[in-house]
Structure formats: structure tokens, C-alpha cells
A = this chain, B = another copy of it.
Amino acid sequence: MLPFTFQNPTKILFGEGMVSRLGEQVRSFGSTILLVYGSGSIKKSGLYDQVLEQLKSIDARVVELSGIEPNPRLTSVYKGIELCRSEKVDFILAVGGGSVLDAAKAIAAGALYEGDVWDFCIHKAVIQQAIPLGTILTLSATGSEMNGNAVISNWELKQKRAFGSPHVYPAFSILDPTLTYSVPRNQTVNGAVDIMSHVFEQYFSRTTDTPLQERLCESILQTVIENTPIAIEQPDNYEARANLMWCGTLALNGGLISAGMQNDWASHGIEHEISAIYDIPHGAGLSIVFPNWMKYVYKERIDRFAQFAERVWGIKRDSRSDEEVALAGIEATRAFFTSIGAQARLAEFEIDREHIDEMAKEAVLFGPLGSFKKLEQTDVRQILEMSL
């Protein structure tokens, strides 16, 4: 186990009807609220009205920024920053999925920074302060509701980059599983893949002697595997939705489940290059890339992949070698993704090899990707080839 520091101050309010506690949570932060949301599905569901009612009950002045994209764009972040400055916003409330939350974090940090907020994404500046923010989550996937991370797309540069800071942890996040009942099937699927991928990035680690952390990871994976098919078949199954929601939050939680472990994040790096150019859903990109990454790197630690196969997928060892069991686990991962309707090939999005060199080159712009196996440009290119 490696040394680590851990702190996660976000307050979680979890359960049906928790939106009724929004007003009391926001009250202490000030009176002008920037409400950030996406395409307007929160208006159809009635959540928007509930939120406004809560904010009205504390006499808040509400400024709105809607239309945040699925891969949130820098242009939307700029709009939010402008609003924060012109309207003297005290608090940002993000209502939506990971994209909305990530955009809100970028706005929160960018509004108090004199330079270009994109600087945070390209390691040109470090976040020193941010407007406080809170979230109401409507999609189980990202973990953004209880961490300090965000991913922003710069559409002009065709770049998708992440930043992280203790200053953008949400002050609170309201997690009501019933708000995810109306999530379309493909988004439920992509969310499940995203949660599992977050765990994979932590679980497939070179760090040894981390038995508790490994089991925490396996616990989330098993629970997602059990509950995703239920949520797909019965979109209003409270327990399945609740289990997925809590899995998503704990999966990427400021490092909780992998404290003391080196993380990888190469697959996310590769996926970001794909969706930076083709704007495909993050979860779909991960579903395509991750099993191929696994096949490409598993020999680095066959023992971990064999453990994954046995504990997560319940694969019996019988008389097989570690390597055979490991490969069976990777196949089971692909089979599960396919069974829930997740994509397996870039061709399903009509993506061919046209930009493959460009993606491989961009992926390693700041150096080799990952730590489980350090991937150079040629490695990334091969994984992309396997994904076509």
C-alpha cells in the first residue's frame, strides 16, 4: 500500500424526495444562484419546478444557464463564467448528469480566475479558489457529485481534457434515485459502463498488498453487474436505481476505494481522444476501448486479472492456468457489455481509421498514458486498431 491523503467534504442527501431539502442546503451560501442544466429534460420531469420552488422559498435570485452538452463544451463554460461575473453569483447549482456537474465545476473555478479557464485543463494553472457549488444528480455514472474532477471539451481544438481540485468538491449533492427513472435505456447502459470503468482504472494497479481496496472495487463491480439488467428492464425499480446511484458515487470518490493504490486512467485518456473528435457518449467509448485495453495489458499482472475473473465474474478455475482464467474474465466483461446493449466497435458509430494517428498522437501529448502499462503512441494506436 502506498502513502496517501484523503479528504472528501461533500455532504450527501440520498433518497426519494430529498429535493425538498434543497432550500435549507443552499440558504447559507448567499442569495444569487446560477442554475446550470442541460437539454431541458428536467422541465419535462417536473424537477425544474421543484428546484425553483425550493429556491424561491429562501428568496434566492436565480440566474439560468441551460443547454449544457453531453460532452460539456468550453463555450458553455465561458457563458457560465460571464453570468457569474455579470450577475455576481454566490452559489452554483448544477442539476443533471456528469456533464452538467463538470461544466458547473469549470464555471465555479473559472469565474474566480483572471486567465482562461482552459488553463486548468492543460496544466497551465492550478485552481486556487472557486464559487461554492451544489448538485442534484439525475444520472448514475460520473461520480462528479462527490469528487473534485471535471472533463471539458474544447471543440475548436478537438481536445477533451480533465482537471481536478479540492476547491470544486460540491458542498452538497442530492441523490434521489427516482430522478433516474426517466433516464433512457442507452444512458443507463452508458452510465453503468462508466461506473465499472472508473473502478477498472483503479483496480488494475501495479500496487501490491491492498486487499481491502481490491475488495471494495470488486464490491462495486458485482453490484453494478447485478443491478444494471434490472434497471434496464424495470426503469422504475427503486432498489436497482438506488444501488446503481450509490455505486456511481463511491466508484469515483476522491480516491476512497483505491486509497494507497496507483491508478491507471489510460483507457479514459484514449476515450477522450475519440469523443473529442467524434462526440460519442463517454460510456459508449469506454465500452469499446476497455476490453481491448485489458487484452493489450493483462500480461503485466495476470494474477490481478485472474482474481478479477474469479471474484467479480464468478469464473471457476477448474484446471485452467492463471492466464486462461484472466482471459475468460476479459471475455466475460465484453459479453456483459454486449448483453446490456453497450457498443463493442467504433464501426458502430461509423468511425474508421481516418483520424487514428491523430488520436494516438494527441493521447500522449503530455507523456505516456497510464501506469499499469505505460502506453506510448504506438500502443495507443494498436488499442484503437483493436477497437475499430
A positions within 8 Å CB-CB of B: 1-18, 209, 211-212, 215-216, 218-220, 222-223, 226-227, 239, 242-243, 246-247, 250, 259-260
Which residues of chain B have C-beta atoms less than 8 A from A3's C-beta? 14-18
Contact A212 B15 (CB under 8 A): no
In the bound complex, how far is the Cα of B220 from the Cα of A223, in angstroms? 17
Residues of B within 8 A of A246 (CB): 1, 212, 259-260
A11: chain B residues at CB < 8 Å are 5-7
A8 to chain B: closest CB distance in Å? Answer: 7
Q: Which residues of the partner chain B approach A211 to less than 8 Å between Cβ atoms?
A: 222-223, 226-227, 243
B259 touches A14 (CB 8 A): yes
- Other 12 A-B pairs with CB < 8 A, given A4-B15, A6-B12, A218-B219: A1-B242, A3-B17, A5-B12, A5-B13, A8-B8, A8-B9, A14-B260, A209-B242, A212-B219, A215-B215, A216-B219, A219-B219
The answer to whether B243 touches A1, judged by C-beta atoms less than 8 angstroms apart, is yes
Closest to A242 in B: B1
Chain B residues with CB under 8 A of A8 = 8-9
Contact across chains for B1 and A239 when beta carbons are under 8 A apart: yes
Is A209 a contact of B243 with CB atoms below 8 Å? yes
CA distance A14 to B16 in the complex (A): 36
- Whether B226 pairs with A220 at a CB distance below 8 angstroms is no
CA separation between A211 and B221, bound complex, in Å?
A: 11
CB distance from A165 to the nearest CB of B (A): 15
Assembled-state Cα–Cα distance A10/B6 (Å): 8
Whole-angstrom distance between the Cβ of A215 and the nearest chain B Cβ? 3
Task: Give, as a whole number of angstroms, the nearest-CB distance from A367 to chain B.
Answer: 25
Minimum C-beta distance from A227 to chain B (A)? 7
Q: Is A4 a contact of B10 with CB atoms below 8 Å?
A: no
**Assembly stoichiometry (copies):** 2
Task: List the B side residues contacting A17 at CB < 8 Å.
Answer: 3
**Cα–Cα distance between A212 and B249 once the two chains are bound (Å):** 12
29 contacts between A and B (CB under 8 A): A1-B239, A1-B246, A3-B14, A3-B15, A3-B17, A3-B18, A4-B12, A5-B11, A7-B11, A7-B12, A9-B9, A14-B259, A14-B260, A209-B239, A209-B242, A209-B243, A211-B223, A211-B227, A211-B243, A212-B219, A212-B223, A212-B246, A212-B250, A215-B218, A215-B219, A215-B222, A216-B219, A219-B219, A246-B259
- For A14, give its contact among B5, B209, B250 (CB under 8 Å): B5
* B9 & A14 in contact (Cβ 8 Å cutoff): no
Return the 5 tightest CB-CB contacts between A and B, nearest first: A3-B15, A215-B219, A7-B11, A209-B239, A212-B223
Residues of B with C-beta under 8 A to A218: 215, 219
Q: How far is the CA of A7 from the CA of B13 in the complex (A)?
A: 9
User: Cα distance A1–B247 when bound, in Å?
Assistant: 13
List B contacts of A259 (CB < 8 A): 12, 14, 246
The residue on B at minimum CB distance from A244 is B212
Min Cβ gap A4→B in Å is 5
* CB-nearest residue of chain B to A13: B5
Which residue of chain B has its CB nearest to the CB of A227? Answer: B211
Output the residue of A9, A17, A215 with the most chain B CB within 10 A: A215
The docked-state distance in angstroms from the alpha carbon of A7 to that of B242 is 18
Residue in chain B with minimal CB distance to A10:
B7
Q: Which residues of B contact A14 (CB under 8 A)?
A: 3-6, 259-260
